[in-house]
Amino acid sequence: MSAPAPFGARLAAAMDAVGPLCVGIDPHAALLAAWGLPDDVGGLREFSLRVVDALGGAVAALKPQAAFFERHGSRGLAVLEEVLAASRAAGTLTIVDAKRGDIGSTMAGYGDAFLADGSPLAGDAVTVSPYLGFGSLAPALERASASGRGVFVLCLTSNPEGRQVQHAAGADGVSVAASVAAQAAALNEGASPMGSVGLVVGATVGDAVRDTGTDLDAVNGPLLAPGVGAQGAGPAELAQVFGAARGSVLASSSRGVLGAGPDAADLRRAAAAAAGEARAALRPGA
């Protein structure tokens, strides 16, 4: 069997086909209650698989938040495995939002879990944290490259505490965020239509890209943008944050779409509306 196309190419095709929208699967207690479901493994499974059934094939990617599955222990992780398998069967890319970061053999272990062929926890991509040094991500990056999967590296996040690390500058005057973006760009050099090493850049970070000197235009990889819709980012905010790099942005919405549930038709309508808004904001004229 031939190797799959690299993640960046597969994601670019999906974004072109159905719009640049990723929907998070965030089964936290309040949302389960809003859907009339119990905060237990049964409710977790019912919620998550309903989302996949409703939105599989209708959005560019689904992004299960690992923490909301892990909080239910081993049975919750088994549900995450089901969600990934169901999404794969529906032909929809998955980004496991796990934000893992460690060193050496431990980082390699995370890579095996979330990026290696044959692992039931492996989606098409995973989020990772570079704050033990970008070089600490090497084991995960190597596994992603070998299996045709992708990684999204935290770069500029919307939480106020993130500025302390991400905006800090080294002795050379280069900010941590700018350094992370430059190292991702180096790994994506020459890839077409875009590379498989993406960045996480909050859609509500305002002038942070400019203030940190972060060159998103040069990344040549996908830019995962949480904060679209219910969290406040619309067309103006997206233009402010991403500028000329908007065409590489995968807008992420969770509450804005999931709040329309539990009816499958309502979820599809909410996702279609969000995808249309994202396309208009990020790819005007497309």
Q: State the pLDDT at residue 36.
A: 98
Amino acid at 7: F
Q: How far apart are CA 264 and CA 255, in angstroms?
A: 15
Which CATH number, 3.40.50.2300, 3.40.109.10, 3.20.20.70, 3.40.605.10, labels domain 7-277? Answer: 3.20.20.70
For the cut 80, the answer to whether the pLDDT of residue 233 exceeds it is no
Q: How many Å separate Cα 194 from the centre of its chain? A: 16
Tell me: the pLDDT tens digits for 97-106?
999 999 999 9
Q: How far apart are CA 11 and CA 92, in angstroms?
A: 10
For the cut 60, the answer to whether the pLDDT of residue 218 exceeds it is yes
Q: How far apart are CA 106 and CA 150, in angstroms?
A: 19
**Would you list the DSSP string of 71-100?**
TTHHHHHHHHHHHHHHHHHTT-EEEEEEEE
Burial 54-67 (b: 16+ CB within 10 A, else e): bbbebbbbbbbbbe
Q: State the pLDDT at residue 58.
A: 97
Q: State the pLDDT at residue 255.
A: 87
Residue keyed to tokens 């979820």: 267
Structure-token pair, residue 133: 């040094």
Number of H helices, E strands in the chain: 13, 8
Q: How far apart are CA 281 and CA 265, in angstroms?
A: 24
Q: How far apart are CA 148 and CA 133, in angstroms?
A: 23
Tell me: the pLDDT tens digits for 49-65?
999 999 999 999 999 99
For the cut 60, the answer to whether the pLDDT of residue 207 exceeds it is yes
Q: How far apart are CA 264 and CA 119, in angstroms?
A: 29
Task: Kindly indicate the confidence band of residue 219, based on its pLDDT and cuts at 50, 70 and 90.
Answer: very high
Structure-token pair, residue 109: 């272990």
Q: State the pLDDT at residue 2.
A: 59
For the cut 90, the answer to whether the pLDDT of residue 225 exceeds it is yes
More reliable by pLDDT, 71 or 158: 71
For the cut 80, the answer to whether the pLDDT of residue 273 exceeds it is yes
| β-sheet bridge partners, residue 223 | 199, 249
Q: State the pLDDT at residue 234.
A: 74
Tell me: the pLDDT tens digits for 156-189?
999 999 999 999 999 999 999 999 999 999 999 9
Residues noted as catalytic:
99
Q: How far apart are CA 194 and CA 19, in angstroms?
A: 16
Other Cβ atoms less than 10 A from the Cβ of 263: the count is: 12
Q: State the pLDDT at residue 90.
A: 98
Task: Kindly indicate the confidence band of residue 224, based on its pLDDT and cuts at 50, 70 and 90.
Answer: very high
Whether 159 contacts 205, CB under 8 Å: no
Tell me: the pLDDT tens digits for 111-157?
999 999 999 999 999 999 999 999 999 999 999 999 999 999 999 99
Q: How far apart are CA 56 and CA 12, in angstroms?
A: 17
SS3 content of the chain, % helix, strand, coil (to 5): 50, 15, 35
**Would you list the DSSP string of 156-191?**
E-SSGGGHHHHT-B-TTS-BHHHHHHHHHHHHHTT-
Q: Between the CA of residue 168 and those of 93, 178, 211, 213, what are the distances in Å?
A: 34, 10, 11, 11
Q: State the pLDDT at residue 229.
A: 66
- pTM value is 0.96
**Would you list the DSSP string of 106-129?**
HHHHHHHHHHSTT-TT--SEEEE-
